Chain A
Amino acid sequence: RKEVEQDPGPFNVPEGATVAFNCTYSNSASQSFFWYRQDCRKEPKLLMSVYSSGNEDGRFTAQLNRASQYISLLIRDSKLSDSATYLCAVNMDFGNEKLTFGTGTRLTIIP
């Protein structure tokens, strides 16, 4: 099993729709979780941290499910500008300040 796993997609979603994708992780003791957005040929940019209680920022909601070891990202009322690759990142290596990144889920919003 991969340490951090994402469905690569692509997810092709009409503008205005709601889309959600998950990221599973293998270390049940992980405590730090993040979602990043990466545009083509650009650097990953922090979208949001994922807290135990969940986190909402405008149209974006992140959730943590410890029992099933996954985090999720929900995008409501999707915009064309949301088209990007979404990477999850998880602290998997305790004692070090390291994050393990998933390969990303590619999202395309269709007009």
Chain B
Amino acid sequence: DAMVIQNPRYQVTQFGKPVTLSCSQTLNHNVMYWYQQKSSQAPKLLFHYYDKDFNNEADTPDNFQSRRPNTSFCFLDIRSPGLGDAAMYLCATSRGAPGRVGFSYEQYFGPGTRLTVT
């Protein structure tokens, strides 16, 4: 029944060692998002895809990259994790609302991947 799946649920990586987090969805939603959330903070949007169109946030470090090979899958690559990148990484999906300015459909989140950097 899981609609947004993230793997792995827990990831431990060494400082500077590349890591890839994955997200898949069975909702057939157009839009997929990656958020970073640290303790007691709001989820912070890193980037999102509307279909194949990639939208990066201005303050997302170059260290973070993403790929969306098809509708169902999206990956987050952290090229050289630093200690400050330890966080929960959340994938979310939503339907697109083309042409509806100011309107967004609800987003559905996966269970997250908790990243530890040693």
Contact = CB atoms under 8 A, between A and B. Distances in A.
Contacts of A4: 42
B103 A91 contact: yes
A1 B111 CA distance: 31
Given A42-B111, A97-B31, A97-B50, A31 B55 contact: no
A98 B45 contact: yes
A60 to B, nearest CB: 15
The B contact surface, by secondary structure, is loop
B114 A41 contact: yes
Contacts of A102: 42
A29 B42 CA distance: 22
Which interface class (under 10, 10 to 19, 20 to 34, 35 or more) fits B? 20 to 34
Contact of B108 (A30, A31, A46): A46
Contact of B48 (A34, A42, A98, A101): A98
A103 interface: yes
Contact of B43 (A42, A96, A97, A101): A101
Nearest to B39: A41
A100 B33 CA distance: 12
A41 B38 CA distance: 10
Contact of B106 (A46, A96, A101): A46
Interface in B21-50: 31, 33, 40-43, 45, 48, 50
Contacts of B50: 97
Interface of B: 31, 33, 40-43, 45, 48, 50, 55, 88, 90, 94, 96-97, 101-112, 114
Interface of A: 4, 8, 29-32, 34, 41-46, 49, 87, 89, 91, 94-104
